[in-house]
Amino acid sequence: MKTVLIVTRTFGKYTSEPIDLLKNNGFDLLWSDSLNPDLLRRADAIILGTGKLTGEMIENSSLKIIARHGVGVDNVDLKKATDLGIPVTITPNANTVSVAELVIGLIFVLSRRLVDVHNELFEKRKFSSSVGIEVLGKTLGVIGFGAIGRETAKRGLCLGMRVLAYDPYVSREVIHQYSVEQVDLETLLKTSDFVSLHLPLNQTTRKMIGKREIQMMKKTAFLINTSRGGIVDENALVEALKENQIAGAAFDAFEVEPLPEDSVLYNCPKLILTPHIGAHTYEAIYRMNMMASQAVVDFFNKKLPQHIVNVEIVDRLLKQGFSH
Ligand code: NAD
């Protein structure tokens, strides 16, 4: 019997379907809140949330497949997995709409100061006459025009916003198909009223939005990061908000998670924080659960799992008798 280690908080929590899928295919399930080396040695597969799976952990494990419960793979040592012939799968599009909807929510939270006025009313009984802005006619700048960037752009257009995109890996034609204007990064930062980040975290994007980039933004603009912590220099952000260089920011992802108690972000004005809940809807969790389980089931049935990130592995698997 093969064993699947589950290290993600939301697996099988709201419906037993993904658990049934694994059990009905003869898998034994192990559950853990953390990446325990002993359990990694007992597991043939892992369904992994955002915990960091290091090269050393992979090397000392008995894992044959790593199924990420989500799309980012910055928490997995991909090179080590690839060297060892272990496929790493993701669940693309499972949470795309959920994240895009959160971005739209955050746009309104920022534009109408919803958290501030709520807190003033509840905590100080202050019936504030806060004045906000309409989003109609404002410019939304999307950095990273992949799955979530596109869904966010579509929703921005529905709200009557002008939408700009910066993504050097997506062609002008594709961006135009979405009725979005392709611009360079500087133009996007200088022109947008709302800048929304939808990039992967890698060596090129780490600290891509730092002091210089924030200074290019309008004083009235807002920065939204629902992608990955580490893309924005958090110290530069705090400084910019304290000095009123931009009007506000909303962050769902952080350099260190969970956000440490002494994080500089807690003492920052005009900053809305959410605890990495972009994908936390019943719909997205269901899709991620089922896709990750199916990848594990397929792999042990010698069927090539969908959405393998380390594509170098695919040829090797086909040579080992895996079928499409
Ligand atoms: P995606 O791969 O579909 O899109 C990413 C886009 O970023 C691609 O189009 C790529 O070309 C572009 N890109 C890469 N490097 C770039 C650069 N230097 N400059 C500009 N563009 C660049 O990914 P996605 O599904 O849209 O996810 C986007 C981000 O959101 C990822 O970081 C992902 O981890 C994160 N995410 C967060 C949550 C959450 O809970 N907050 C949930 C899901 C995904």
Domains present along the chain, CATH in parentheses: 2-94+282-319 (3.40.50.720), 96-273 (3.40.50.720)
Q: Which of 48, 73, 55, 54 is nearest to 228 (CA)?
A: 73
- CA-nearest of 268, 256, 204, 248 to 228 is 256
Mutation choice for ligand 1 from 98, 169, 280, 291, CB with most ligand atoms inside 8 A: 169
**C-alpha span between 288 and 92 (Å, rounded):** 8
Q: What is residue 12's three-state secondary structure? A: coil
- Confirm whether pTM is higher than 0.85: yes
Distance (angstroms) between ligand 1 centre and the Cα of 69 equals 15
The response to whether residue 203 sits with its C-beta less than 6 Å from ligand 1 reads: no
| Per-residue pLDDT tens over the stretch 2-34 | 999 999 989 999 999 999 999 999 999 999 999
Nearest residue by C-alpha to atom 38 in ligand 1: 278
176 in catalytic set: no
Each residue's pLDDT tens digit, 127-173: 989 999 999 999 999 999 999 999 999 999 999 999 999 999 999 99
Residue 257 annotated as catalytic: yes
Q: Is residue 72 scored above 90 in pLDDT?
A: no
Annotation marks residue 212 as catalytic? no
Give the Å distance between the CA of 38 and the centre of ligand 1. Answer: 33
Residue tagged active-site, from 68, 228, 287, 307: 228
How high is the pLDDT of residue 273?
98
What does the block give as tokens for 290?
A: 């089922």
Residue 209 clears pLDDT 90, i.e. is over it: yes
Query: What span, in angstroms and rounded, lies between the C-alpha atoms of 6 and 132?
Result: 44
